[in-house]
């Protein structure tokens, strides 16, 4: 990539130098031609016979033509060079975007392959254990429970891919209804804790109702909780819900490393994964926040990420009480 940038800079420098040389050369040529015309005018009888008005007019016209030609060359050269450089920059930006997308897709395929392979291998091992060994009832329940966790993990991955496909095809349908958001969030947090075997802190204001799509809100909340637990690195995660005028604010707060300011917008792109070394071992596909952002747009809601203190992130979602306008 560095070599490509060096080549690109060298090409721009060459084009600027070439355009400058071309402009200087043409300017020199038209100046020489103007000088020849001036010499020819001075040798005419009108100038020798002291017909100053006609001679001066001819000389002024010659000088005006020279200035006009110089301006034309400078303008055309500048416009041509600007358009050429702009075209090259657009080509470079397109190439960079395609390269970045290809890299993200490659990482996505690797992540999905790993996310599929790991639970399948775990379920195979558990099944072989049940088949080959005589286990106690308690041991059997533990093995079956582990299998269910892996099945839930696979289901979650497939759900993300399915939702992404529907969003791409613009075939995701909404079903608005009046929702007790306080109760919905509490239920989702409790269910998430049971599935993931983690403890979350809740600060949820009661009796908050909105008109929205419950399935969309469920997908959004579960994705945000999953991200907060994974990137919170085992530290406390707090779920806060409150009403402020005609806005309902949901905050999912973690105490992990946090997200660099330069990446706060990038994380909502498809397949994007945080590059921090502390997150290298965190599993994921880079689809979670992309799905969240797209779905929230459909229900007239917004999402933003701020820094937590002393560390971590605060992900805030604002949902209109009246749903999509």
CATH code (residue 227): 3.30.565.10
Q: Is residue 7 part of a domain?
A: yes
Percent of the chain with pLDDT over 70: 89
Placement of tokens 């790991």 in the chain: 118
Q: Interior CA angle at 291 toward 258 and 278, to 5°?
A: 25
CA 307 to chain centre: 19
Domain identity same for 162 and 235: no
Query: What's the DSSP call for residue 175?
Result: -
Q: Is residue 302 part of a domain?
A: yes
Distance CA 169, CA 2 (A): 36
Distance CA 16, CA 243 (A): 58
Q: Is residue 146 part of a domain?
A: yes
Domain count, the chain: 3
pLDDT of residue 247: 83
Q: Is residue 124 part of a domain?
A: yes
**Residues 263/137, Cβ–Cβ less than 8 Å:** no
pLDDT of residue 107: 67
CATH no. for residue 137?
1.10.287
pLDDT of residue 112: 67
Domain that holds residue 154: 107-168
Domain identity same for 92 and 111: no
pLDDT of residue 325: 44
Domain identity same for 192 and 248: yes
Domain identity same for 300 and 193: yes
Domain identity same for 159 and 197: no
Domain identity same for 155 and 205: no
State residue 111 phi and psi, 5-degree precision: -65, -45
Domain identity same for 94 and 137: no
- Residues of the chain falling short of pLDDT 50: 324-325
């Amino acid at each position: 990539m560095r070599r490509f940038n060096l080549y690109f800079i060298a090409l721009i420098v060459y084009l600027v130098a070439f355009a400058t040389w071309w402009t200087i050369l043409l300017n020199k040529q038209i100046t020489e031609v103007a000088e020849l015309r001036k010499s020819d005018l001075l040798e005419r009888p009108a100038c020798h016979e002291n017909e100053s008005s006609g001679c001066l007019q001819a000389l002024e016209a010659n000088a005006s033509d020279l200035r006009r030609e110089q301006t034309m060359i400078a303008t055309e050269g500048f416009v041509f060079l600007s358009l050429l450089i702009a075209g090259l920059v657009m080509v470079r930006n397109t190439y960079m975007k395609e390269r970045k997308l290809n890299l993200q897709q490659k990482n996505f395929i690797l992540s999905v392959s790993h996310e599929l392979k790991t639970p399948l291998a775990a379920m195979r091992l558990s099944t072989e254990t049940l088949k080959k060994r005589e286990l106690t009832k308690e041991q059997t329940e533990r093995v079956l429970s582990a299998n269910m966790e892996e099945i839930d993990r696979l289901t979650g991955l497939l759900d993300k891919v399915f939702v992404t496909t529907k969003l791409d095809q613009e075939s995701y349908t909404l079903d608005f209804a009046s929702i007790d958001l306080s109760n919905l969030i509490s239920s989702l947090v409790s269910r998430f804790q049971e599935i993931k075997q983690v403890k979350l802190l809740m600060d949820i204001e009661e009796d908050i109702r909105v008109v929205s799509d419950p399935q969309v809100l469920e997908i959004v909340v579960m994705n945000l909780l999953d991200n907060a637990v994974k990137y919170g690195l085992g530290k406390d995660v707090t779920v806060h819900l409150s009403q402020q005028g005609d806005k309902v604010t949901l905050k999912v707060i973690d105490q992990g490393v946090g997200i660099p300011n330069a990446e706060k917008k990038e994380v909502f792109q498809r397949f994007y994964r945080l590059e921090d070394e502390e997150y290298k071992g965190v599993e994921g596909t880079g689809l979670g926040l992309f799905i969240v952002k797209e779905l929230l747009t459909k229900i007239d809601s917004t999402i933003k990420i701020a820094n937590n203190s002393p560390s971590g992130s605060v992900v805030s979602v604002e949902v209109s009480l009246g749903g999509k306008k």
